[in-house]
């Protein structure tokens, strides 16, 4: 069974191994096709949010072409520009296999040398963008572990799928997984979360797992339909909830329910780069 080696340490891993709740945030770098002025403004917004969130002792996962559209490399500006203002150990870049192997090796080496101590390595959506350089995220993590044995590596699981299969992905001898993120879940997909947690308990899995929560800003039918191309969206239920609750309350509801079944560690996606800290506070005030 995959367990973290004693020689590997990361601030995130230390926190995940502690009991009690944790809330992290997932942010996206600006799109790479923005005009220079717009791109500069977007990076300023991101830097402000990174500064506020990490100063509040929160962790931030930075995506890598999250929805198939080309984003700026998540190391390019962060490592170079936030510098002393941000504890880089609280920022966890996400790397997908949608690059060349050489690029992935260089990316991980740069991340470690610049002060990041953990990296999340995912396969990436097969349906959009360039092909994967290796079949699965675990294949890339194995290559990275050989090159950078001290770098803490995160994997991926999907509670919407068969729990036995997904937990096996995390606990296999070749998983090379020190921690894991999950696909977005909600209080409308609680049965899948419970099955996943039960299976983890059955096999004695010790891989710290952070469950994804999506911040729905509205019940716009076109938006919900588009999102459904990337993860299961309970469109009818979300639409009904917006008739009597705010976006922040709906998100807080998911967090409360997940905690009630034992999913204590979560990350919130889609807060946006501008004002992410203020939006997060409004959510947590209702948890």
Q: What pLDDT is stored for residue 15 in this prediction?
A: 96
Q: What is the pLDDT of residues 181-235, one digit of tens each?
A: 999 999 999 999 999 999 999 999 999 999 999 999 999 999 999 999 999 999 9
The encoded tokens of residue 95 equal 């790397």
Q: What pLDDT is stored for residue 70 in this prediction?
A: 54
- 248 vs 45, which has greater pLDDT? 248
> Alpha helix (H) ranges present in 62-177?
101-114, 137-147, 163-171
Q: Which of 67-71, 195-199, 227-231, 254-258 has the lowest mean pLDDT?
A: 67-71
Please state the φ and ψ torsions of residue 64, each to the nearest 5 degrees. Answer: -135, 100
| Band (91; pLDDT cuts 50, 70, 90) | very high
**Inter-residue contact 119 to 111 (CB < 8 Å):** yes
- pLDDT at residue 68 greater than cutoff 70: no
- pLDDT at residue 88 greater than cutoff 80: yes
The DSSP string of 186-213 is -GGGHHHHHHHHHHHHHHT----EEEEE
Q: What pLDDT is stored for residue 64 in this prediction?
A: 77
- pLDDT at residue 12 greater than cutoff 70: yes
Q: What is the pLDDT of residues 96-105, one digit of tens each?
A: 999 999 999 9
| Band (1; pLDDT cuts 50, 70, 90) | very low
The encoded tokens of residue 241 equal 């909830």
Q: What pLDDT is stored for residue 72 in this prediction?
A: 52
Query: What mean pLDDT is reported for the chain?
Result: 89
Gap between the Cα atoms of 140 and 97, Å rounded? 7
In the chain, the domains with their CATH numbers are 11-284 (3.20.20.220)
Looking at the chain, the whole-number percentage of residues with pLDDT higher than 90 is 71
Q: What pLDDT is stored for residue 48 in this prediction?
A: 82
Q: What is the pLDDT of residues 109-161, one digit of tens each?
A: 999 998 899 999 999 887 777 889 999 999 999 999 999 999 999 999 999 99
Give the mean pLDDT of 247-273: 97
Name the DSSP letter for residue 31.
Answer: B
**Inter-residue contact 177 to 153 (CB < 8 Å):** yes
Q: What is the pLDDT of residues 15-27, one digit of tens each?
A: 999 999 999 999 9
């Amino acid at each position: 069974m995959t367990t973290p080696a004693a020689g590997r340490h990361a601030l995130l891993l230390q926190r995940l191994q502690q009991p009690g709740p944790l809330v992290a945030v997932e942010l996206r770098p600006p799109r790479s096709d923005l005009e220079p002025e717009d791109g500069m403004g977007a990076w300023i917004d991101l830097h402000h949010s990174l500064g506020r969130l990490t100063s509040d002792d929160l962790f931030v996962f930075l995506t890598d072409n999250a929805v198939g559209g080309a984003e700026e490399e998540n190391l390019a500006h962060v490592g170079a520009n936030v510098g002393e203002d941000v504890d880089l150990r609280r920022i966890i870049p996400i790397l997908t296999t949608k690059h060349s192997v050489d690029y992935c090796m260089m990316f991980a080496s740069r991340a470690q040398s610049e002060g990041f101590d953990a990296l999340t390595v995912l396969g990436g959506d097969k349906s959009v963008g360039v092909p994967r350089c290796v079949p699965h995220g675990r294949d890339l993590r194995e290559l990275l572990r050989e090159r950078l044995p001290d770098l803490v590596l995160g994997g991926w699981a999907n509670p919407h799928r068969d729990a036995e299969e997904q937990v096996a992905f995390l606990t296999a001898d070749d998983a090379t997984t020190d921690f894991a993120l999950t696909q977005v879940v909600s209080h409308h997909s609680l049965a899948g979360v419970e099955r996943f947690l039960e299976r983890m308990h059955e096999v004695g899995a010790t891989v710290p797992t952070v469950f994804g929560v999506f911040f729905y800003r509205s019940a716009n039918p076109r938006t919900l339909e588009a999102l459904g191309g990337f993860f299961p969206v309970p469109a009818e239920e979300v639409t009904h909830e917006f008739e009597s609750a705010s976006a922040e309350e709906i998100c807080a509801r998911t967090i409360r329910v997940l905690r009630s079944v034992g999913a204590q560690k979560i990350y919130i996606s889609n807060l946006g780069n501008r004002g992410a800290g203020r939006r997060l506070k409004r959510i947590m005030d209702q948890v």
